[in-house]
A and B are shown apart, each in its own frame.
Chain A
C-alpha cells in the first residue's frame, strides 16, 4: 500500500498545477486511480485528486473538431455520440471492448495517456491526429506524437483535441489478444481522408508493448493518391508486414505479430472503406 501523507482535491486547474509544481517529485496527480493504486512509486507522499478541477467533458465544435477533457471517463466517452461518431466510429471501435464496464466507469482518458504504457487508445488518437493541451508554467498545445516522444516533466494534461477532417474521412481500430481481458499482442488504427474519391491522407498506426503507436509511412504511401481499392489495401497491408519490426516474447513471435499487423491493417482498411461509403 502506498504511504501517502498528503491528499489534496484542488477546486481548479491553476491550484492543481501549483500544488504539483511546489511538491516537486513527491506528488502525483490522481485521475481515476486505477493505475496509481497499483503502481504508486515509493517516493510519492502526496496525491492531487483532479476530480473537482473541472476537466471532464466532451465537446464537438462547430468546425467538427472534438475536445475531450482529461478527466472524462471511458464510459462517458463511449456514451457521447460526438466522440463515437467522430471519423465514422474509430473511438467506438477502441472503447467498446476496452477493459470492462467496471474499468470504463473509473479510468480516465487523461490518466490513460499520461500513464503511457501498452495502450489501445493511443494508436487511435495518433491516427486521428490528436493534439494534447498541457498545463505547466504556461499552457501549450502540441501533437500527441511529440508529447509522447518528449515527456514534458511535471505537467497537467488538460484536454485532447481531435481536429476536424478536411473532407470525407473515416477510421477504424482493431486489436488482437489472447482473451478479451489480456493486453493486446498488437493493435492497429487507421484513418483515411478522401478528396474526390482519391486518398488524400492516410495514417496507419501499429501499437504493441513497448511501442505505443508507430506510423508506417510505406503503408500510408501505398494508399495515398489512389482510390482505396482492394489492391491498394492489399499493397498497404503488405507494406505493414514488410516495414514492421515487432517484438518477440513469451506470448508471440515477431513473425506472428507481423502477420497480425497485416491482417489488422487489411480489416481496418476494409472497415474504413465501408464507412466512407456511408459518409460519401
Chain B
C-alpha cells in the first residue's frame, strides 16, 4: 500500500508493506537516527514523535503514520546543522556518551518540554522512564534536559 506522511517537515509518499513497523520503514528510507534497539518497546531508542507525542516506532505499524506528522531527532538541528538548544545542553551536560539512546531521549524530552516548559527532576525522570541508557547513569541526561528547559524559556522571554 501507499502512504503519505510528513517526516521532519518533508512530505513523504512511499510504498509500504502493511505488516512492517514504522521503525523498519523509517530506517529503510534513510531516517537512521531512529535506532533499532530491542524492537519490543522496552528500550526507547526508536522513539519518534507522532503528531507531537513521543512513541516507540517499533510498536507501530508503518501504516498508522499515514496522513500524520512524524518527527525524528534528525529534524532538530537547523538548516546549517546548528544544534537545537536541547541537543547542545545534552552534550554540554555530558548526557551523550555512546549516543545510541540519544535520538530517542531527545524525542521523549521534546514531548515533555512542549507540555511542561519548566519540569522538575521528577517530571524529567518520569518522561524518560521508557528510554534506557547504559552509559551515563541518567543524572547528566536529566541535568541536560532541565538546562535545555531553562535555555528555551530564556529564548522565549528574552
B-binding residues in A (CB < 8 A)? 1-7, 9, 30, 32-34, 36-38, 40, 47, 49, 51, 75, 99-103, 105-106, 180-181
Contacts and interface: CB of A to CB of B under 8 A. Distances in A.
Given A5-B18, A37-B21, A37-B58, A102 B47 contact: yes
Interface in B1-46: 1, 17-21, 24, 40-42, 44
A180 B128 CA distance: 13
Nearest to A35: B59
B59 A37 contact: yes
5 contacts: A40-B19, A100-B130, A101-B130, A102-B56, A106-B59
For chain A, what secondary structure do more than half of its interface residues adopt (helix, strand, loop), or is it mixed? Answer: loop
A93 to B, nearest CB: 15
A38 B53 CA distance: 21
Interface in B103-119: 108, 111-112
A177 B130 CA distance: 16
Contact of B55 (A40, A47, A49, A102): A102
Contacts of B127: 101
Given A9-B66, A106-B59, 20 more contacts: A1-B24, A7-B18, A7-B63, A33-B60, A34-B56, A38-B40, A40-B19, A49-B63, A99-B130, A100-B129, A100-B130, A102-B47, A102-B54, A102-B56, A102-B130, A103-B41, A103-B130, A105-B54, A105-B111, A106-B56
A243 to B, nearest CB: 35
B108 A49 contact: no
Contacts, number: 83
Contacts of B60: 33-34, 37, 106
Given A4-B17, A4-B18, A105 B53 contact: yes
Contacts of A3: 19
Contacts of A75: 53
Given A7-B18, A105-B55, A47 B61 contact: yes
Contact of B126 (A2, A4, A40, A101): A101
Nearest to B23: A37
B64 interface: yes
B112 to A, nearest CB: 8
A40 B66 CA distance: 20
B131 interface: yes
Interface in B55-90: 55-56, 58-61, 63-64, 66
A30 B59 contact: no
Contacts of B63: 7, 47, 49
A181 B63 CA distance: 28
Contacts of B61: 4, 7, 30, 33, 36-37, 47
A101 B52 CA distance: 13
B64 A101 contact: no
Contacts of B108: 101-102
Nearest to A73: B53
Contact of B18 (A47, A51, A100, A106): A47
A180 B129 contact: yes
A75 B127 CA distance: 11
Contacts of A5: 18
Contacts of A105: 50, 53-55, 111
A101 B111 contact: yes
A3 B130 CA distance: 28
A97 B6 CA distance: 31
